[in-house]
Amino acid sequence: MLVLKGKSVNTGITIGPLALFHRNTISTAERKIEDVAAEIDRFQAAREAAIRQLQALYEKALAKVGEEQAAVFEVHQMMLEDDDYIDSIVGQIEEKQCNAEAAVENTAQQFATMFREMDDAYMQARAADVLDISRRVEQELCGGQGIDFSKYDEVIIAADDLAPSETMQLDTDKILGFITSGGSANSHTAILARTLGIAAIVNTGTQLHQDVDGLLAIVDGTTGTVYINPDAETLARMQQAQKEEKDRRKRLELVRGLPSATKDGKAVEIFANIGNPDNLPQVLANDAEGIGLFRSEFLYLGRTDYPTEEEQFEAYKKTVQALPGKKVVIRTLDIGADKKVDYFNLAEEENPALGMRAIRICLTRPELFKTQLRALCRASAFGKIAVMFPMIISVKEIRRAKELLQEVRQDLDRRRIAYDKDMEIGIMIETPAAAIMSDDLAKEVDFFSIGSNDLTQYTLAIDRQQTQLDSFFDAHHPAVLRLIGQTIANGHQAGIWVGICGELGADLSLTETFLRMGVDELSVSPQSVLPLRDTVRSLDLSK
């Protein structure tokens, strides 16, 4: 029996035969060519074919996982249209009089090396993207015979890593799971797997070979463990655990529609986090009581210019109308840090996570901010919207944001356009500064929502996307929990409600801790709603 440990992408247990992922061999060996112009035309034709393929993948992903996750394929198309990338390949064909395959491969490796050497974790992750798009072009140059994805049926796939395009081309309804020796739990592929509900373990650090192809494998997403060719005792134990997991899922259906309250009567609202209106069916299917974090930046990503007020208004209106009577907390623009948008023309920064992002952009570009605020106010006439400002660190910032909101309201009043005059205003608590100052900040708003992901990152001074630091990263660190407890206490002291919308909200080992702190709302991914409600209903805080 071979036991591997990695990073779990999804909880749950799956058992089935292992299938090594085979990519077709592509020859990129350099050779001299006679007709330079014809070779450049051959490259351009392959590049355009690759762009068409990526557009088809985008449309498939859009229908299956929504706009936020599909955006990676728009990014890949943009990379294939990048002038620096194209000029490098064309330049090599001209200067070296070499074949297009070699020029593409050389450029891919140069760009990938450049990305890997950058300090920013987001940019480091782009190395995999440039290699993925380049392989697609090379495949087209070599005849277009791609991977036979149809043969992966009812198997657990083992690979060095899977590109997002490879994940989407698999028939995900037939794949039992996958394990990769590399990759990250925050990669595009991992996020796609999580969204699609595929059992997956990444970054095991062990490259598997032909001798394990076809062997029985177990993926334990609860512990991040993979068992290959398990002994009888391990197989029996994991089969029992899998049965218990299935029974647990059946039990979750019994809490559908029931109050999210402990045995001794402590009630908490369980909301969902979503990235765009395409996620609404998941919110409804998982019986969320509202939306605690609607990430509005999906409107700005994957395009070449700013969204109009009307585009934003329609998206917000569609969301609240789909959830009549339920609260929808919409976070204003949170671009920057790991979310790059070229047309914003933001200056290059040594450390983007500590730079121009979120509310800082909005307050320095007030007309951009007011366009979004007008759309939000107008949509509030059609449902229960609450607006939430991200990355707040001072009272001054809140007051300035509220001033801009008031200017928008006055303009709507003059134009006799309806909006909810009682719309709640809140802020995210994402930095130690905000948590420490939460007693003063609470006097300015109607609610707090604690963004535990960034709060943990900034408290521990560890980039949460930097996998080499995983052994140092502790989301349960006492300092983080103290800041959360302090924020809840200060919020209640001022008479406002306090929620948690980061990943810790779905951490069932902390549910009782948060309820004892007095948290009023927990906002989690849609699939985490019922497990969280089940846990809440099992607790008795009087003991």
Q: Match 């797997």 to its residue by tokens.
A: 193
Domain closes at, from 141, 161, 184? 141
In this structure, the answer to whether residues 222 and 322 fall within a common structural domain is no
How far apart are the C-alpha atoms of 283 and 286, rounded to whole Å? 5
Spell out the residues 6+ positions from residue 513 whose beta carbon is closer than 8 angstroms to its own.
Answer: 481
- The predicted pLDDT at position 466 comes to 61
In this structure, the answer to whether residues 349 and 483 fall within a common structural domain is yes
- The tens digit of pLDDT for each residue in 504-539 reads 999 999 999 999 999 999 999 888 999 999 999 999
In this structure, the answer to whether residues 61 and 137 fall within a common structural domain is yes
Domain closes at, from 126, 141, 156? 141
* Structural domain boundaries enclosing 196: 2-23+148-237
Q: Which two tokens stand for residue 220?
A: 């334990």
In this structure, the answer to whether residues 411 and 386 fall within a common structural domain is yes
Phi-psi region of 311 (alpha: psi -120 to 50; beta: other; left: phi over 0): alpha
DSSP code, position 270 = E
3-state DSSP assignment of residue 387: strand
In this structure, the answer to whether residues 315 and 202 fall within a common structural domain is no
How far apart are the C-alpha atoms of 228 and 226, rounded to whole Å? 6
Q: Could you tell me if 506 and 232 are in contact, meaning their C-beta atoms sit under 8 angstroms apart?
A: no
In this structure, the answer to whether residues 17 and 104 fall within a common structural domain is no
- Catalytic residue check, 188: yes
Catalytic residue among 76, 98, 188, 377: 188
Neighbouring C-beta atoms of residue 355, cutoff 10 Å? 15
Q: How many domains does the chain have?
A: 3
Catalytic residue among 98, 362, 377, 501: 501
Decide if 542 is inside a domain.
no
In this structure, the answer to whether residues 125 and 156 fall within a common structural domain is no
In this structure, the answer to whether residues 326 and 215 fall within a common structural domain is no
Decide if 334 is inside a domain.
yes
- The predicted pLDDT at position 465 comes to 60
Residues in the chain where the model's pLDDT stays below 50 = none
Question: What is the CATH classification number for the domain harbouring 14?
Answer: 3.50.30.10
- The predicted pLDDT at position 68 comes to 65
pTM of the prediction?
0.66
In this structure, the answer to whether residues 283 and 354 fall within a common structural domain is yes
Q: Which two tokens stand for residue 379?
A: 């949509």
Domain closes at, from 218, 237, 256? 237
Torsion sign, CA atoms 286, 288, 291, 292: negative
Decide if 326 is inside a domain.
yes
- The tens digit of pLDDT for each residue in 431-448 reads 999 999 999 999 999 999
- The predicted pLDDT at position 149 comes to 66
- The predicted pLDDT at position 177 comes to 87
Decide if 252 is inside a domain.
no
How far apart are the C-alpha atoms of 469 and 475, rounded to whole Å? 13
In this structure, the answer to whether residues 344 and 452 fall within a common structural domain is yes
- The tens digit of pLDDT for each residue in 360-407 reads 999 999 999 999 999 999 999 999 999 999 999 999 999 999 999 999
In this structure, the answer to whether residues 339 and 432 fall within a common structural domain is yes
DSSP code, position 205 = -
- The predicted pLDDT at position 342 comes to 77
Decide if 262 is inside a domain.
no
Decide if 41 is inside a domain.
yes
How far apart are the C-alpha atoms of 442 and 426, rounded to whole Å? 9
